[in-house]
Amino acid sequence: MALEVLMTAKTLARPGIDLLEQAGCSLSFLIDGTEAELAETLRSKPFDAVISRTLALTSEMIATAPALRVIARHGVGHNNVDVDAATQRGIPVLIADNANGQSVAEHTLALLLAVARRIPVLDAKIRAGAWPRSMTGLQLSGRTAGIVAFGAIGQKVGHMLKAVGMNIIAFDPHISDKAAHEVEWAGSLDALLSRCDVVSLHSPLTAETAGMIDAERLARMKKGAILINTARGGLIVEEALAEAVASGHLAGAGIDTFMDEPLAADHPFKPNDRIVMTPHMGGSTDAALDGVALSAAQNVIDMLIESQIDRRLLVNPTVLDRLTTPVA
């Protein structure tokens, strides 16, 4: 009998589909891509695995899937999955193996350049018949960039910005081998914010980091600085950022992730053209989608067929004590 796998989206990149089908898995997709449809689909069939993309996978949904044995994230974040509920059920939650890191880093640079050189505004004015040669932008070379969370993506962004000619300061309390990285380290987030012309966020969304960029911290940033977020929307208090840009304290912001997606019609970022927005697509490139699909599919196969887990990618390691089938 084929193993049943549910993708919580309308599609999956072909390499991931091929890998699952070659392993004898039967793959199902959502048609409309809504949370209501996801909840109903989970009740309709005994799925062995879920590949989770952007929709929330709640404790209630997990409870309606008695056959579920693994949740594989289609990405590196996992705040849309109720990890505690999965752990209580003995279900491992695994993230993808940083397959989209390069694409997210490139998107970070793209947003920064778009804000610093006001590219969307210039493009819109030309299309409207103007020729805005009097507008000026910011040169990045010689300025200082702060990287908040210096994991794989943060390091890639740091290398790119250093190549542009920027000085790099990093803050990450969870990195112990700081001497191995050729950057200056800030002793605190506040110290970094006060010194940097550009601040780029790459933190996971946790109880510790939620809302960490609030009005008080935005006020600590240098006047004329730029804030970039390609990590998680919940890191920023959005109303406070909108005010910081509108007041002229910040030169602008580049935002790819938001507290609630898609944006409400009255979202405070929308009126300000100094806030450049993209719809949570930092990892949406051909190479990244192929890589993430392969990694998620491999996590499913490893757990269901090979009885093994890549512990580097396991979000809830305490689940290992709850598994009825031993894993390698």
Residues 175 and 109 in one domain: yes
Residues 174 and 268 in one domain: yes
Rounded mean pLDDT of 171-183?
94
Give dist(CA 41, CA 58) in Å, integer: 14
In this structure, how many other beta carbons lie within 10 angstroms of the beta carbon of residue 143? 19
126 occurs within a structural domain: yes
Domain with 8, as residue range(s), is 3-99+286-322
Give dist(CA 229, CA 280) in Å, integer: 10
206 occurs within a structural domain: yes
Give dist(CA 135, CA 125) in Å, integer: 11
Q: Which residues, 6 or more positions from 206, have their beta carbon under 8 angstroms from its beta carbon? A: 79
Question: For residue 127, what are its two tokens?
Answer: 């299309």
**Is pLDDT at 18 greater than 80 in this prediction?**
yes
Residues 89 and 106 in one domain: no
Work out the angle at residue 240's Cα, subtended by the Cα atoms of residues 234 and 246, and round it to the nearest 5 degrees: 130
> Is 280 marked active-site?
yes
Which residue in the block uniquely carries the two structure tokens 């605190």? 188
C-alpha dist (Å) from residue 113 to 95, 109, 118: 30, 6, 8
Each residue of 304-314: pLDDT tens digit? 999 999 999 99
Residues 116 and 95 in one domain: no
Residues 129 and 268 in one domain: yes
Final residue before a domain boundary, out of 258, 277, 296: 277
pLDDT of residue 48: 98
List, as one string, the DSSP characters of 103-115: HHHHHHHHHHHHH
Each residue of 113-132: pLDDT tens digit? 999 999 999 999 999 999 99
Give dist(CA 105, CA 92) in Å, integer: 28
> Sorting pLDDT into bands at 50, 70 and 90, what band is 109?
very high
Mean pLDDT, all residues of the chain = 96
Give dist(CA 295, CA 15) in Å, integer: 10
Each residue of 253-302: pLDDT tens digit? 999 999 999 999 999 999 999 999 999 999 999 999 999 999 999 999 99
Q: Of the residues 78, 118, 202, 232, which is catalytic?
A: 232
**Is pLDDT at 12 greater than 90 in this prediction?**
yes
Rounded mean pLDDT of 156-166?
98
Helical H segments across 76-188, by residue range: 83-88, 101-116, 119-127, 152-164
- Residue 59, H or E segment: helix 59-63
pLDDT of residue 324: 74
pLDDT of residue 328: 79
Give dist(CA 67, CA 89) in Å, integer: 10
Instruction: Say how many domains are in the chain.
Output: 2
Residues 24 and 65 in one domain: yes
Rounded mean pLDDT of 179-202?
97
For 22, the 3-state DSSP assignment is helix
Work out the angle at residue 217's Cα, subtended by the Cα atoms of residues 215 and 221, and round it to the nearest 5 degrees: 110
In this structure, how many other beta carbons lie within 10 angstroms of the beta carbon of residue 280? 17
pLDDT of residue 154: 98
Give dist(CA 303, CA 193) in Å, integer: 42
258 occurs within a structural domain: yes
Residues 203 and 271 in one domain: yes
Give dist(CA 35, CA 103) in Å, integer: 27
Work out the angle at residue 296's Cα, subtended by the Cα atoms of residues 154 and 83, and round it to the nearest 5 degrees: 75
Rounded mean pLDDT of 28-49?
97
For 33, the 3-state DSSP assignment is coil
Question: For residue 97, what are its two tokens?
Answer: 């193996």
Each residue of 53-92: pLDDT tens digit? 999 999 999 999 999 999 999 998 898 999 999 999 999 9
215 occurs within a structural domain: yes
Which residue in the block uniquely carries the two structure tokens 């390069």? 102
Residues 9/32, Cβ–Cβ less than 8 Å: no
> Is 232 marked active-site?
yes
**Is pLDDT at 51 greater than 90 in this prediction?**
yes
Q: Of the residues 220, 249, 267, 280, which is catalytic?
A: 280
**Is pLDDT at 325 greater than 80 in this prediction?**
no
**Is pLDDT at 1 greater than 80 in this prediction?**
no
327 occurs within a structural domain: no
User: Given the DSSP bridges, would you call strands 144-148 and 198-201 parallel, antiparallel or unpaired?
Assistant: parallel
**Is pLDDT at 322 greater than 90 in this prediction?**
no
CATH label of the domain that carries residue 271:
3.40.50.720
The residues facing 168 across adjacent strands are 145
Q: Which own/partner contact pairs does 186-194 have at CB distance under 8 Å and 24+ positions apart?
A: 186/146, 189/148, 189/217, 190/217, 190/220, 192/146, 192/148, 193/146, 193/217, 193/220, 193/221, 193/222, 194/220, 194/221, 194/222
57 occurs within a structural domain: yes
Residues 132 and 260 in one domain: yes
Residues 270 and 126 in one domain: yes
Question: For residue 221, what are its two tokens?
Answer: 């940033």
Q: Of the residues 261, 306, 311, 322, which is catalytic?
A: 261
Residues 233 and 249 in one domain: yes
Residues 184 and 43 in one domain: no
Residues 94 and 105 in one domain: no
Each residue of 204-217: pLDDT tens digit? 999 999 999 999 99
Q: What is the pTM of this model?
A: 0.92
328 occurs within a structural domain: no
pLDDT of residue 98: 82
Q: Which of 1-5, 139-143, 248-252 has the lowest mean pLDDT?
A: 1-5
Give dist(CA 308, CA 143) in Å, integer: 47
138 occurs within a structural domain: yes
Give dist(CA 294, CA 15) in Å, integer: 6
